Amino acid sequence: MRIGIDLGGTKVEGIALDDNGKQLIRHRVLTPAGDYQGTLNAIVDLVGYIESSIKHCASIGIGTPGSLSPVNQLLRNSNSVCMNGQPVKQDLEKLLNREIRMSNDANCFALSEATDGAAKGENIVFGVIVGTGTGAGIVVNGKVLTGANAIAGEWGHNPLPWPESNELPGSECYCGKYGCIETFLSGPGLSADYFSSTGEQLDAVDVVALSKADSQAEVCLLRYEDRMARGLAHIINVLDPDVIVLGGGMSNVSRLYKNVPELWGQYVFSDVVNTRLLAPVYGDSSGVRGAAWLWD
């Protein structure tokens, strides 16, 4: 049996799966805000609760925002800032008295969908999380591709490909650069684009809903689709994945699965594009399921 833990900024979620991927229990607790030791204790308590419920000692995989630095194994780039610069993996292994496996939450999403989700059985899978931010993970032959710098899949912090003149230099990203894909394709990026066009502040969900009746919202969403097509075409040109799976809040926009592949062919360096763009099978559960599958 295997346990997966998804560490988020507001909640810590845990799941237990049997060897066939059947969910045995799923439970979540609040993340102690700004409290490093409290967060570790919450994870340990959650593991204890799950193991007492299934009456089994299981392997443990943990998905986190950010990644472990290959230099010192300290967590970096986490939006739960109290975790940055901390030996999270080592401290949890001491508290749990066993080896654990950790990976970026986007890697866990991709692994879940590649293992028994939308991309089951495919060789190369690119799993995108497009929500508050824009991240991704890569799975090759069932294994997470981490990379020499532990940043494989950091798609959102590259510049938007083939930018138009009115897209330059782009908005400033929290990473310190301008024009990152994340600033265009995240939910806040879509919201910001609508605001710059209309002067009206709406969140991404409302912009999508309004596009059915409002021409300015529709034009905004058409721009978004072309930008996503350009961004994903860049990935297809480099990685040539069998499947791209969308996750995060923007994955609920059903028109993307038809419109984006119809657009990306003009940007892909090939006379045919066999890559498929698919919705996730497990949605918000993919991160925690993928953490459990880190031990497969």
Same domain, 151 and 80: no
Is 110 part of any domain? no
Is 86 part of any domain? yes
Is 112 part of any domain? no
What would the mean pLDDT of 154-163 be, rounded to a whole number?
96
Q: What is the CATH number of the domain that holds 49?
A: 3.30.420.40
Has residue 165 got a pLDDT over 80?
yes
Same domain, 65 and 150: no
Spatial separation of the C-alpha atoms in residues 177 and 188, rounded to whole Å: 17
Same domain, 289 and 272: no
Same domain, 271 and 159: yes
pLDDT, tens digit, for every residue of 101-133?
Answer: 999 999 999 999 999 999 999 999 999 999 988
pTM equals 0.94
What domain range is 49 assigned to?
Answer: 2-105+285-293
For the ranges 1-5, 55-59, 283-287, which has the lowest average pLDDT? 283-287
Spatial separation of the C-alpha atoms in residues 83 and 81, rounded to whole Å: 5
Same domain, 289 and 212: no
| Cα–chain center distance at 115 | 16
Same domain, 88 and 165: no
> What's the one-letter identity of residue 219?
V
pLDDT bracket for residue 284 (50, 70, 90):
confident
Same domain, 80 and 59: yes
Same domain, 189 and 238: yes
Is 111 part of any domain? no
Is 188 part of any domain? yes
pLDDT of residue 81: 85
Same domain, 124 and 99: no
pLDDT bracket for residue 234 (50, 70, 90):
very high
Helix then strand then coil, % of the chain, to nearest 5: 40, 20, 40
Is 113 part of any domain? no
Verify cis geometry, omega within 30 degrees of 0, for the bond prior to 169.
yes
* Strand (E) or helix (H) holding 153: none
Same domain, 96 and 128: no
Is 162 part of any domain? yes
Same domain, 101 and 133: no
pLDDT of residue 109: 97
* Strand (E) or helix (H) holding 62: strand 59-64
User: How many domains is the chain partitioned into structurally?
Assistant: 2
Has residue 78 got a pLDDT over 90?
no
Same domain, 132 and 249: yes
